[in-house]
Amino acid sequence: MRVYNSTSCMVKPSDETWSGKLALSELDQIGTITHVPTIYFYTKSPQDWLIVLKKLKSSLSSTLVHFYPFAGRLNSIAGGRLELDCNADGVQFIEAYIDMKLNDLDSLLPSPIYHHLIPSIDYQNLPLEEIPLLVLQVTRFSCGGFSIGLNISHVVADGQSALHFVSEWARVCRGELIESPPFIDRKLLRAGDPPRSCSTIELDQFSPPAVLMDQSDKKECEQETTVTMLKLTPTQVEILRNKANESQKSEMSHGFTRYEVITAHIWRTACKARNHKPEQPSALAMCVDVRNKMRPPLPPKYFGNAIVNVIATGYSGEILSNPLGYVSSKIRNVIKKVDDDYVNSILDFMKSQEDLGQFRELEPTTNNEGPFYGNPNVGVISWLTLPIYGADFGWGKEVHMGPGTHDSDGDSLILHGKDGDGSLVVALCLQARHMEDFKKIFYQDIQIDSS
């Protein structure tokens, strides 16, 4: 397998856009600040491939007039902070050909082939101010199908904002007008000046637990990982919800959400599959969208990062010996505390810090350093509210859309099944030595619960 005729150019906004330094919110500058990859696969394209490329480029150029932050560059400023220079330098557009058919792929799961379909970001050798904030590659397969692989800076956009951009770009490529322009002003999620008191809540400082004792010669972060997609039918989802709700019905007025229940099931399964000791601490990392938790709510198309990271903690013995509803309650209680006061307290706390860099999960120049969130911990992100499907650029909807790379132990996503039948999919990365046990326990427990 080889990739041929790979060429690159910069696509800039088709019209003049606002220029200047755009102040970022504190939520833009903490957490993950690297690029986030996603990929779309399509089976149809016109015979004239040059027309496809021309339409994709011209529509992208038009769409960037509205989403102009993507065409800018980041700059480092004092205090470990970043600012966005809206200079219209453009986004990187790569076109390539691969000598294989879509059917030649064993599956459309994240795999080594993705490294040929999604452009990588050279954090090591490029200065920050030269790294494009959106890098994409359109790759044609020998069968006529193609893929669109994107790498989008998480500083500029969270999942909602990134997918809003893709949706509008596809709309413009089909010959339609922008439906919902982005709301770009970040002032709605900026700290007070001077910062207000942060005493109203206790802020989480996530220092993830480590395994109590090494179980091999390799460190946990050096273990081989593998990826799987675990489908849950509507019936299996209801089995889990019924079990959780039944065990906690005397303590709650509303049933648990699908996210709360499935996340609890993932956490419990991971503790069991990893064969933790009962006294082993474990942390569950989650992201909470705050758009509708602010007072007043943020504009529906707020463009930027409007998510906060929260954690639930426990001991493996506690998580496994208590019913699913107990673990679901731990998750719900953590999510419930995220309200307007909580978010503003985080903003003000971060504003008061001399160096924001210490709160980032991973600096782009130190890929092997920073906190490790794998065994004995897990992270579960919900894509259930994201418009991940239906990106039709004019040649039909995608046959698959998913995360581009997913190779960190303990990371997982929950997303809707492609068929729209109410099924859900858990995209999971785990150490290879634990994966088979995880899959067995994940489904075995559901079957036991249904009997």
pLDDT in tens, 345-361: 999 988 888 888 777 65
Does residue 294 surpass a pLDDT of 70?
yes
Whether 392 sits among the annotated catalytic residues: the reply is yes
Residue 413 tokens, joined: 């996503």
Residue 170 tokens, joined: 């596809």
Instruction: State the catalytic residue, choosing from 154, 164, 276, 434.
Output: 154
Instruction: Give the Cα separation of 72 and 85 in Å (integer).
Output: 5
CA-nearest of 165, 51, 148, 37 to 94 is 148
Query: For residue 253, with 0-12 CB atoms within 10 Å meaning exposed, 13-18 middle and 19 or more buried, which class applies?
Result: exposed
Tell me the residue type at 285.
A
Find the range with the poorest average confidence among 165-169, 245-249, 302-306, 326-330: 245-249
DSSP state of 128: G
Averaged confidence pLDDT in the chain: 88
> Model confidence over 412-431: pLDDT tens digits?
999 998 777 889 999 999 99
> Model-level pTM?
0.90
Instruction: Give the Cα separation of 49 and 242 in Å (integer).
Output: 51
Q: What does each C-alpha distance from 394 to 49, 235, 263 come to in angstroms? A: 13, 35, 36
**Contact assessment for residue 289 and residue 385, using Cβ atoms and an 8 Å cutoff:** yes
> Model confidence over 44-61: pLDDT tens digits?
877 799 999 999 999 999
> Model confidence over 98-127: pLDDT tens digits?
998 988 876 666 677 888 899 999 998 999
Q: What is the pLDDT of residue 198?
A: 53
Q: What is the pLDDT of residue 446?
A: 84
> Model confidence over 275-289: pLDDT tens digits?
999 999 999 999 999
The domain segmentation of the chain, as residue ranges, is 3-189, 220-450
Does residue 32 surpass a pLDDT of 70?
yes
Residue 110 tokens, joined: 């994240």
Instruction: Give the Cα separation of 331 and 316 in Å (integer).
Output: 15
Tell me the residue type at 148.
I
Domain 3-189 is of which CATH architecture? 2-Layer Sandwich (3.30)
Strand 378-382's sheet: what is its strand order? 225-232, 424-431, 411-416, 378-382, 281-289, 307-315
Q: Positive or negative, the Cα torsion across 325, 326, 328, 334? A: positive
Query: For residue 270, with 0-12 CB atoms within 10 Å meaning exposed, 13-18 middle and 19 or more buried, which class applies?
Result: buried
Q: What is the pLDDT of residue 207?
A: 59
- Phi first, then psi, for residue 180 (nearest 5°) are -135, 95
Q: How far apart are the first and last CA of the chain?
A: 48
Q: What does each C-alpha distance from 232 to 163, 265, 319, 406, 422 come to in angstroms? A: 24, 12, 22, 20, 9
pLDDT interval class at 5 (50, 70, 90): low
Query: Which is more confident, 162 or 218?
Result: 162
Does residue 182 surpass a pLDDT of 90?
yes
**220-450: CATH number:** 3.30.559.10
- Phi first, then psi, for residue 327 (nearest 5°) are -70, -40
**String of b and e for 201-215 (b: at least 16 CB within 10 Å)?**
beebeeebebbeeee
Whether 339 sits among the annotated catalytic residues: the reply is no
Instruction: State the catalytic residue, choosing from 85, 89, 339, 392.
Output: 392
Q: What is the pLDDT of residue 196?
A: 62
**Contact assessment for residue 126 and residue 134, using Cβ atoms and an 8 Å cutoff:** no
Percentage of the residues of the chain whose pLDDT score is greater than 70: 88
> Model confidence over 216-247: pLDDT tens digits?
546 888 899 998 989 999 999 999 999 999 87
Q: What is the mean pLDDT of residues 61-85?
A: 96
Q: What is the pLDDT of residue 357?
A: 78
**Contact assessment for residue 270 and residue 211, using Cβ atoms and an 8 Å cutoff:** no
Q: What is the pLDDT of residue 451?
A: 37
Instruction: Give the Cα separation of 390 and 398 in Å (integer).
Output: 7
Q: What does each C-alpha distance from 191 to 343, 353, 354 come to in angstroms? A: 10, 12, 14
| H runs (alpha helix) in 274-355 | 316-321, 324-336, 340-351
Q: What is the pLDDT of residue 260?
A: 97
How many residues are there in the chain? 451
Strand segments (E) across 47-201 = 73-77, 81-86, 91-98, 134-141, 146-153
